[in-house]
């Protein structure tokens, strides 16, 4: 009887494995920003890793939908209810866009798959600028007329919130200039069209390596952990802004969502896929190259993070006057 029971269990296990869900057509990875930004880079990195290591029988196809500050992408995923062949890469915009625009959608309409990392933000200036610290920058901003221009990716988004919060703490008026992506903000900074930007490392690293921009400090509670060198400076050598007397800190999630209404088996496929991606040397190199903070969360752990982070953003956005009114 024991042998029969064991045999039956093995057959059931093999059958379950054989029938585990897999995509049957190319998977569309929707990016709510333009090409070149950090979200786009993450999506294309995952796409390349999946293809190189043959982690899925179907290819991933990256589609950029930056309209309406990411709202177009979110509405697209909402309309794709029960479609397991669509993914959404996102950041804090998953709740910032609905809170600032009142579009009839929020992350609870989707299926949270997992968080892969958190993004750091830095205060960047043109390489030949006279500022040595963020306090040097703010000291000049206090006497600037018209107000000093600070660039970033998108209106009423992470960079906009950061610029407001820095100005509020320092008691200085700053003019925020929104661009289509962090990559464009970096280009405008390198060209001298703004005095600073608040990009992620991945969005400014090309101009940093090219000697056109440089970071003053990182808006985190501690210095960047990675030590890989970029020109003459390593990320780990960059002071956190608290060391320069600026207390405001900000990190941003890097996560993946599916449309609502998918099955647990379909969600499990992508959870396992992301875990496999995160184990590859290419992913680890991507995290270090872009100075991302490793932070993987799945299941309830990810959903708890979303609830807490959404509440934090709602509070900050309320102070900034970014919340949409009825």
Point out the residues of the chain with pLDDT beneath 50.
1-2, 4, 7-18, 230-232
Same domain, 174 and 229: yes
Residues 6+ apart with CB under 8 A from 156: 69, 96, 100, 101, 317, 322
Q: Which residue has the tokens 């953003």?
A: 313
Same domain, residue pair 295 and 202 = no
- The confidence score (pLDDT) of residue 206 equals 87
Global confidence as pTM: 0.84
Residue 164 · residue 156 · CB < 8 Å: no
The DSSP H or E segment spanning 78 is helix 71-79
- In this prediction, residue 19 carries a pLDDT of 53
Give the end of a domain, one of 207, 234, 249. 249
Same domain, 296 and 189: no
In a domain, 12, yes or no: no
Which pLDDT score, from 0 to 100, does residue 271 have? 98
**Residue 8 has what pLDDT?**
46
Query: Do 132 and 200 reside in the same domain of the chain?
Result: yes
How far apart are alpha carbons 321 and 41 in whole angstroms?
30
The token duo for 189 is: 């900074």
CA angle, residues 51, 199, 230, in degrees to nearest 5:
70
Q: What 8-state DSSP symbol labels residue 233?
A: B
The reply to whether 204 and 302 lie within a common domain is no
Is 239 in the same domain as 140? yes
Q: How many domains does the chain have?
A: 2
Q: Pick the closest to residue 110 from 132, 131, 88, 127 (CA basis).
A: 88
Cβ-Cβ contacts under 8 Å for 11 (sequence gap 6 or more):
none
Buried b / exposed e along 109-132 (16+ C-beta atoms within 10 A): bbbbbbbbbbbbbbbbbbeebebe
Which of the listed residues 249, 274, 306 is the one where a domain comes to its end?
Answer: 249
CATH at residue 49 = 3.40.190.150
Same domain, 259 and 113: yes
**According to the model, what pLDDT value does residue 227 have?**
64
Does 3 reside within a domain? no
Say whether the peptide bond before residue 146 is cis (omega within 30 degrees of 0). Answer: yes
Instruction: Pick the closest to residue 198 from 102, 87, 119 (CA basis).
Output: 119
Is 159 inside a domain boundary?
A: yes
What is the pLDDT at residue 182?
A: 85
Mark out the alpha helices in 235-320 (DSSP H runs): 264-278, 281-289, 299-320
> Domain boundary residue among 212, 229, 249?
249
What value does the CA radius of gyration of the chain take, rounded to a whole number of Å? 21
Query: Domain span at residue 55?
Result: 26-119+252-320
Question: CATH no. for residue 147?
Answer: 3.40.190.10
Expressed in angstroms, the distance from the first to the final Cα of the chain is 68
Q: What is the pLDDT of residues 179-214, one digit of tens each?
A: 988 889 999 999 999 999 999 888 888 899 899 999
Is the domain of 102 the same as that of 152? no
3-state secondary structure of 118: strand
Q: In what order do the strands lie in the sheet with 174-179?
A: 174-179, 148-153, 196-197, 122-126, 213-218
15 lies in a domain?
no
- 242 and 294 in a single domain? The answer is no
Residues 152 and 243 in one domain: yes
Classify residue 21: in a domain, yes or no: no
Indicate whether 114 belongs to any domain: yes
Q: Are strands 293-298 and 110-120 parallel, antiparallel or unpaired?
A: antiparallel
Q: How many CB atoms lie within 10 A of CB 239?
A: 14
Residue 7 falls within a domain, yes or no?
no
Query: Based on the domain organization, do 105 and 130 belong to the same domain?
Result: no
Q: Are residues 245 and 261 in the same domain?
A: no
């Amino acid at each position: 009887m024991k042998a029969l029971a064991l045999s039956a269990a093995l057959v059931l296990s093999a059958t379950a494995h054989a029938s585990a869900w897999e995509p049957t057509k190319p998977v569309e990875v929707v990016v709510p920003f333009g090409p070149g930004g950090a979200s786009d880079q993450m999506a294309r990195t995952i796409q390349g890793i999946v293809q190189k290591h043959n982690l899925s029988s179907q290819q991933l196809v990256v589609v950029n939908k930056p309209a309406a500050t990411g709202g177009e992408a979110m509405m697209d995923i909402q309309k794709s209810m029960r479609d397991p062949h669509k993914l959404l890469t996102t950041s804090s915009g998953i709740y910032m866009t609905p809170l600032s625009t009142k579009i009839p959608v929020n992350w609870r309409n989707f299926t949270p798959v997992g968080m892969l990392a958190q993004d750091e933000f830095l205060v960047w200036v043109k390489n030949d600028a006279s500022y040595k610290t963020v306090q040097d920058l703010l000291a000049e901003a206090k006497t600037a007329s018209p107000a000093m221009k600070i660039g970033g990716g998108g209106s009423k988004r992470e960079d906009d919130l950061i610029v407001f919060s820095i100005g509020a703490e320092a008691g200085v008026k700053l003019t925020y200039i929104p661009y289509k992506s962090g990559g464009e903000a970096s280009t405008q900074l390198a060209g001298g069209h703004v005095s600073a930007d608040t990009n992620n490392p991945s969005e400014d690293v090309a101009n940093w390596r090219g000697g056109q921009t440089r970071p003053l400090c990182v808006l985190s509670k501690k210095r960047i952990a990675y030590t890989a060198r970029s020109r003459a400076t390593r990320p780990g050598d960059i002071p956190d802004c608290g060391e320069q007397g600026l207390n405001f800190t900000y990190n941003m999630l890097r996560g993946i969502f599916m449309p609502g209404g998918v099955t647990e088996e379909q969600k499990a496929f992508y959870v396992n896929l992301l875990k496999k991606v995160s184990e590859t040397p290419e992913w680890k190199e991507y995290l270090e190259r872009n100075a991302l903070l490793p932070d993987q969360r799945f299941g309830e752990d990810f959903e708890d993070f979303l609830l807490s982070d959404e509440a934090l953003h709602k509070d900050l956005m309320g102070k900034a006057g970014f919340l949409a009114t009825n």
